[in-house]
Amino acid sequence: MSPIRSSGPPGARAAAPPRDVHPHRALGTAVSVEPGSDLAGWAYLLGAPRPESARRRWLARIGGLVAIGALVAYLWWRIGFTMPPGGWDRTAAWVLVSFEALPLLGLMIRIVTLWNIDCRAPKPVSELPAGMRVAVLIPTYNEPAEVIAPTIAAACALRPAHETWVLDDGDRDWVEQMCREYGARYVRRPVHDHAKAGNLNHTLDLMAREAADGGDDVDIIAVLDCDHVPLPTFLTATLGWFDDPGIALVQGPQTFYNSGAFDDDGVTGEQGIFFHVLMAARNHDNAGPFWCGSTSLLRLRALREVGGIATDTIVEDMHTTLGLIRAGWKTVYHSQTLAVGLAPQTPEQYLLQRTRWGLGSMQVLAKERLWAAKRWMSWRNYFEYLSGTVWWLEGVITVAMFLLPAVILLSGAQTSTAGPGAFAAVFVAMFVVRMWGVRRLFRHHLHLPTSFALRIFRIPVGFSCLWWLVTRRTLKFAVTPKAGADERVRARPPRIVTVPIVAVFAVLIYALAGALGWVPWRATAGATVASAVWLLLAGIGLVLGALRVMAPAYATSRRNSHRIAVRARVQLDGVDGELVDISVGGAAVRLPEGSAPAGRVVELHLPGAAPVRLTVVRSTTAGSSGDEIVSMRVTDGDWAAFRAMSMWLFHTPRGVLDGIPPGVPAVAAVRRRRISRSLGVLIADHAVNDG
């Protein structure tokens, strides 16, 4: 088979704007999005992967060394100048200092693994070599049309020539009709076992049977979760990797277009650290990334060699990757925004998804005995897989971190001879400097308040994982809901979060009363502060977690599709108006007073697109201006309208939106009150791709 032909060098990114320049001004014009809106962080990662800038790399390295230096200096001060002379007090002090030293080893390893996160990429592809067959596979189960229509429509429109297969485990006739309209192949199976892995394996068997019957075999499969909409570069940017016959897997980042989701941190989301830092750092020999289930391409021959998709665990992607590595295949990471999906919108969805990932990781840990070194695994892969699975027990560790300082505090042990003011000053200085360095080591893909809040909320995940290791009960694959809810309901923090809040602040209040002499208390003021500072940090994290869970922004929604706050000049039944917001399933348009259409079915003309027929839901008056806001939706079963709305949002015609750079889809517009410093640094380092 001849190599995949290239269309030329990778598209260059625009020069990075100065750090003190607002991104829109740096791009040369004002972006036409709703007031208070901006571009999502992932929009600045649309360009082809490139080496990390020397400035960014050295700041990250310096940050990591500074973080280690701050912690070592603090520990040196604690051990050399604050330890009590002997007895129980000294033992308790050593226990507390050991607890404080726990992050040191992790920091040292992370400096090594994150020393270089340079990314590379093959030349983009314009056409496939003769004889190569590529199929995009989209497994689906019970998701609504507003979720799967954009994925199927965008997949069918990808280049170069390929096939799109929709694997429907819900046996829905309307999905088959949609596939027929869009040009995708519809597949259903008679027996629904092993969830997504079984669905994929059924299709791999179908491909093998058709090849055995004389048809052309498939060489490469691309896998997309049904809510992950591929962008135009999905295949053209990645297929070139397979010129290397030893590569079995190409994994891309998973990014999300529903800004304001539960794990959204205003930059690239909670998973930004994983996909844009940790995975990028593994794009080296013998450190290859694992399959993450979506936004990925796999060589079919490699999958057949290892027996198909693993079905022994509920994290088939990670488990399958271990089989590929054991068989000698290579995996690579393509650090470029290639598709955008839906992140968990509510606390319940987040907890369900993370619990599934955590429990599945425990299954892999136990079945593969990852604690034992393997001859077929490099030290880097051994470390990454072991730490990546054990990490899901962090909820148990988090609770232990609350208990240890509390027990020491209540015991009355004199764990520090330093005065309260001196101890507090040294501790705060260490913590601030350490966090400064850690943020730079992780390339600013770390938003500390969000990170602390979500860590607290993952406490139940850790205990679920520990309980599974004890019981080894049978697990079932739980699908993360993507459809709207019947009613809007705000979540409540689980008891495993609320009970520690009460306990932590009760201990802190009692300790304060004791230090003031109001209640019996044995510890000195300095020893009290030594333990109380950790409890205070724990209490702050607990409160942040509880507040995030209860926030109205994360209540359930009745909508099936996410609204995008993009503005554009449009026409509605020939009347000029302004787009207020738009989703896959509908739109809202502002019209001059008295010009709202009288009919129930209207034609919406979006810039650069053919007219779309929509059904009017309601018409309201917009305040004192007298303008009318007409809200519309796509008629059920109108697959042409769903496709038109989807393609305009995700494969936006170039140049139709003033200020949004060519190549950036309209769905990148997000609501944001301000540009965080972390996002500002990301923007400065990764200007929006202008090609």
Architecture of the domain whose range is 569-656: Beta Barrel (2.40)
Helical H segments across 239-327, by residue range: 272-273, 300-305, 316-326
Residue 244: is it exposed, middle or buried by C-beta count within 10 angstroms (0-12/13-18/19+)?
Answer: exposed
Cα separation, 34 vs 565, whole angstroms: 5
Pair 530, 400: CB distance under 8 Å: no
**pLDDT value of position 676:** 59
Cα separation, 429 vs 505, whole angstroms: 24
**pLDDT value of position 358:** 94
Helix, strand and coil content of the chain, in percent to the nearest 5, comes to 45, 15, 40
If we measure between CA atoms, which residue out of 517, 503, 650 comes closest to residue 156?
650
State the pLDDT confidence band at 7, using cuts at 50, 70 and 90: very low
**pLDDT value of position 5:** 36
Q: What is the pLDDT of residues 308-362, one digit of tens each?
A: 999 999 999 999 999 999 999 999 999 999 999 998 888 888 889 999 999 999 9
Q: What is the pLDDT of residues 418-436, one digit of tens each?
A: 988 999 999 999 999 999 9
Contacts of 561 (CB under 8 A, 6+ apart): 146, 147, 583, 584, 585, 586
Q: Does the pLDDT value for residue 52 go beyond 90?
A: no
Q: What is the pLDDT of residues 473-509, one digit of tens each?
A: 877 766 666 555 555 567 778 787 888 889 889 999 9
Cα separation, 87 vs 483, whole angstroms: 61
State the pLDDT confidence band at 689, using cuts at 50, 70 and 90: very low
State the pLDDT confidence band at 557, using cuts at 50, 70 and 90: low
First and final C-alpha spacing in the chain? 30
Q: What is the mean pLDDT of residues 179-208?
A: 96
Cα separation, 599 vs 581, whole angstroms: 21
pTM over 0.85: yes
Where do the structural domains in the chain lie, given as residue ranges? 569-656
Q: What is the pLDDT of residues 426-472, one digit of tens each?
A: 999 999 999 999 999 998 888 888 888 888 888 899 999 999 999 98
